[in-house]
């Protein structure tokens, strides 16, 4: 089985693949203070619950693919693969790793590994042109051309960041639960904030995606819009431009990168 690990700024998502099928997944908080040994214990605890894996760390794991937007965590995961999975082929997405996605940016090294991985998965699953909307710590919009090129993107504050900022900077506001309000017009402060977050972000997604689609293709209707990320379900029902929801897009991309690189190890 292939273990895939996507380390984001706030959360880390892990997936276990049996061939092309994801058979198990976990979501944990990202903590840059965790050491390699602590991460190994955490992995053992999670995977020990799966019936197809053995009790010992590494039993049943044939390969590992990792991408991270947090350099310190990537460093510790590199140590985990060396110490605890020394005999298992591993691919860490970083400069030099083959993705097959041309990056048409002023400085390709600036683009987060997860965004390139998302572009690769979008090309494989839906072809181009496409726009990937990833609802994470930041809300990112990534454009993929009809030829499978990473064209560029947009970065906006994420939903949770905005909620926290309102609670911190608003003298009479507080942190709220991310939930759908009874109506657009809030009848109390909490509902008013929930409405602003939900419908404000849905409007942002629709506006940004429509502008990107007009630049990306001669016929904007040809552009497939794919939503991913932990907070995507909150916006799906209110956005009018999202065509597909693929919660494991990054993990699928990691599987594809592993397949393209493992023969070179």
114 catalytic per annotation = yes
* Catalytic residue of the set 37, 106, 114, 142: 114
Annotated binding site: 6-13, 112-115, 134, 137, 189
Q: SS3 string of the chain?
A: CEEEEEECCCEEEEEEEECCEEEEEEEEECCCCCCHHHHHHHHHHHHCCCCCCCCCCCCCCCEEEEEECCHHHHHHHHHHHHHHCCCCCEEECCCCCCCCCCECCCCHHHCCHHHHHHHHHHHHHHCCCEEEEEECCEEEEEEECCCCCEEEEEEEECHHHHHHHHHHHCCCCCCCCCCCCCCCCCCCHHHHHHHHHHHHHHHHHHHHHHHHHHHHCCCHHHCEEEEECCCHHHHHCCCCCCCEECCCHHHHHHHHHHHHHHHHC
Annotated binding site for K(+): 134
User: Which positions are catalytic?
Assistant: 114
């Amino acid at each position: 089985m292939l273990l895939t690990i996507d380390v984001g700024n706030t959360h880390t998502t892990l997936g276990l693949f049996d061939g092309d099928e994801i058979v198990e997944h976990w979501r944990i908080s990202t903590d840059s203070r965790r050491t390699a040994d602590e991460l190994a214990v955490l992995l053992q605890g999670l995977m020990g619950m799966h019936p197809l894996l053995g009790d010992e760390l590494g039993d049943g794991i044939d390969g590992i693919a990792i991408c991270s937007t947090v350099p310190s965590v990537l460093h510790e995961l590199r140590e985990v693969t060396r110490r605890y999975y020394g005999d298992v082929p591993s691919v860490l997405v970083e400069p030099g790793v083959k993705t097959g996605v041309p990056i048409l940016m002023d400085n390709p090294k600036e683009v987060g590994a997860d965004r390139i991985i998302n572009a690769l998965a979008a090309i494989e699953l839906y072809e181009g042109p496409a726009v990937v909307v990833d609802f994470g710590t930041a809300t990112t919009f990534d454009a993929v051309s009809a030829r499978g090129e990473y064209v560029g993107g947009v970065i906006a504050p994420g939903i949770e960041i905005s909620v926290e900022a309102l609670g911190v900077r608003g003298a009479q506001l507080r942190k709220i639960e991310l939930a759908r309000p009874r109506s657009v017009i809030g009848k109390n402060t909490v509902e008013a904030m929930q409405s602003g977050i939900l419908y404000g972000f849905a409007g942002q997604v629709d506006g940004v995606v429509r502008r990107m689609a007009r630049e990306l293709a001669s016929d904007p209707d040809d552009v497939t819009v794919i939503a991913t990320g932990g907070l995507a379900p909150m916006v799906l029902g209110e956005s009018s431009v999202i065509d597909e929801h693929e919660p494991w897009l990054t993990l699928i991309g990691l599987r594809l990168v592993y397949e393209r690189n493992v023969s070179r190890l």
